[in-house]
Amino acid sequence: MMILVAGPYRSGTGDDPAKLQANVDTMNDVAVHLFRRGHLPVTGEALALPLIEPISVRLLGRCDAVLRVGGSSAGADEMVRQARAEGKPVYTALDQIPVPE
């Protein structure tokens, strides 16, 4: 599956560059685990930080599922709401995601 990894980017960081990077690192670490399980992980942050909001919404339209990671994030929560509205699976842990055949 192509899975959007949705997590906080700016939330709770006060725009501290180290905290922003820690959030990106968390999403990237999860993405590596998904890749090793045979899925195609994507993050909006990796594709286009300057255009994150419209890119994330369009990207979700192409994804099969969402994996919600990290702490509080209005943007990630919106991606989860949209995925559910579209009938897509939303996972909250790596072990919930089926391994491809």
Measured CA to CA, the distance from residue 23 to residue 71 in angstroms comes to 9
At 92 the pLDDT is 96
Q: Is the pTM value of this prediction over 0.85?
A: no
Query: pLDDT in tens for each of the 101 residues of the chain?
Result: 999 999 898 888 999 999 999 999 999 999 999 999 999 998 877 765 656 666 677 788 889 999 999 888 888 898 899 999 999 999 999 999 999 88
At 101 the pLDDT is 83
Measured CA to CA, the distance from residue 32 to residue 79 in angstroms comes to 20
At 52 the pLDDT is 61
> Domain map of the chain by residue range?
2-95
E strands in 1-101 = 2-6, 40-42, 65-68, 90-91
At 11 the pLDDT is 87
Q: In the CATH scheme, what is the code of domain 2-95?
A: 3.40.50
